[in-house]
Amino acid sequence: MSEQADNIEVLDGALSWLQSAQQVALATVIKTWGSSPRPPGSLLAMNDAGQFVGSVSGGCVEESLLERYRAGELAGPAPTMIDFGVDRQEATRMGLPCGGRLELLIEQLSDPDSITQLLARLRSGELVARKVNLSSGEVSLHPGDGVTEFQLSETTLVKTFGPAWQLLLIGDGQLARHLASMALHLDYRVTICDPRDAFASSSPLADVHYSRAMPDEAVHGLRNQARAAIVALAHDPRQDDLGLSVALESQAFYIGALGSKRSAQARHKRLASQGYSAEQIARIHGPVGLHIGSKRPAEIALSILAQITAIRNGIAQLAQHST
């Protein structure tokens, strides 16, 4: 199940309990240390009847969390931060590899309308940032920026809900296969688009979607997705430029194109002749990937995914290609 599906399941459970007049709290993992199995941003909803949906650990925290909530120790009018430590002996008893520690934010939910609005926007495909005031517990919903997944400050908590991260590769081949395989491990939904008959894959990768659509059509389907990365790998201007021209008008957080500095300059001239501004063209990372001095397909794929990851995490300086 995807993170999006997990979040919707938790929110659906919380809403159902609120609508049946039960007391409901939402627990969010905000910090972890050691081998805590669930990352920051993970959710769990629980009610005063002892039911819960979601997960904040590998199973060693949920029971204690429920007991403390039902005993009235957690969740007041304002959000509550609590710290759970799991020693090695307890971790072994629960079947965990070793000990860890995590910090949770507990919110007492009282407004079903806020959850209803969030679920409606998620089901319509929107990217939504849920902002929690840590002093008052006030919740507000904002458009997601496509970069911030989870952010904690002294005053607020922001968690972004919405569609999964997507990677569209224009052009099939050895490099695309390496990049697609790596991206799957980082939970991207990967599509390889190549309408050329000679490049039809005889052994398609599992869990990768293959498209024979023209590149501009494939990119057009992602034009409103801020969590999309688009990489042109066809090394054929007739294919790459089709996709890139639409990508420049999209909300994609990353656009990359394979090729040397000379071919990148030629590409810039072609796109400029089509009316694209210098600012738009500057969105293209080309030569694509971090400069690691390699010509091997697997290592080039690694450099591309590293650059995408840096941009996704807001580290723009690292993501600049070396001159």
Question: 270 and 190, same structural domain?
Answer: yes
Question: 305 and 178, same structural domain?
Answer: yes
* 226 falls within a domain: yes
Q: Tell me: pLDDT of 125 over 90.
A: no
Total-model pTM: 0.65
- In this predicted structure, what is the pLDDT of residue 205? 92
* 145 falls within a domain: no
Quick one: what percent of the chain has pLDDT higher than 90? 64
- In this predicted structure, what is the pLDDT of residue 44? 96
Low-confidence winner among 103-107, 185-189, 280-284 (lowest mean pLDDT): 185-189
Which CATH number covers residue 291? Answer: 3.40.50.720
Rounded to 5°, angle at Cα 3 from 122 and 149: 75
pLDDT in tens, 166-186: 999 999 999 999 999 999 888
- In this predicted structure, what is the pLDDT of residue 94? 45
Question: 215 and 308, same structural domain?
Answer: yes
Sign, CA dihedral 48-49-52-56, equals positive
Question: 291 and 170, same structural domain?
Answer: yes
Question: 112 and 242, same structural domain?
Answer: no
Question: 304 and 189, same structural domain?
Answer: yes
Dihedral over alpha carbons 190, 200, 287, 302 (to 10 degrees):
50
Asked which of 103, 122, 141 is the last residue of a domain, the reply is: 122
pLDDT in tens, 52-93: 999 988 666 888 899 999 988 886 788 999 987 655 555 555
The answer to whether 218 and 225 are in contact (CB under 8 A) is no
Asked which of 61, 87, 122 is the last residue of a domain, the reply is: 122
- In this predicted structure, what is the pLDDT of residue 314? 80
- In this predicted structure, what is the pLDDT of residue 51? 95
Question: 93 and 12, same structural domain?
Answer: yes
Q: Which token pair is 22?
A: 């039960």
Question: 304 and 188, same structural domain?
Answer: yes
* 139 falls within a domain: no
Q: Mean pLDDT score of the chain, rounded to an integer? A: 88
Peptide bond into 215 cis (omega under 30): no
Task: Write the CA distances from 50 to 1, 68, 82, 88, 268, integer angstroms.
Answer: 24, 10, 19, 27, 60
Going by pLDDT thresholds of 50, 70 and 90, the confidence category of residue 256 is very high
pLDDT in tens, 196-255: 988 877 789 998 999 999 999 999 989 888 889 999 999 899 999 999 999 999 999 999
Going by pLDDT thresholds of 50, 70 and 90, the confidence category of residue 321 is low
* 142 falls within a domain: no
Question: 226 and 109, same structural domain?
Answer: no
Question: 181 and 107, same structural domain?
Answer: no
DSSP secondary structure code for residue 61 in this structure = S
Q: Please tell me whether residue 160 adopts helix, strand or coil conformation.
A: strand
- In this predicted structure, what is the pLDDT of residue 96? 44
Question: 171 and 61, same structural domain?
Answer: no
- In this predicted structure, what is the pLDDT of residue 165? 86
The strand ranges marked E within the chain are 24-34, 43-47, 52-54, 80-86, 100-109, 128-133, 139-143, 150-152, 156-161, 166-170, 189-193, 209-211, 228-232, 254-257, 284-285
Instruction: Please give the biggest Cα pair distance in the chain.
Output: 69
Structural domain boundaries enclosing 170: 166-312
Q: Tell me: pLDDT of 2 over 70.
A: no
Mean pLDDT of 268-291: 94
DSSP secondary structure code for residue 176 in this structure = H
* 44 falls within a domain: yes
Question: 286 and 225, same structural domain?
Answer: yes
* 131 falls within a domain: no
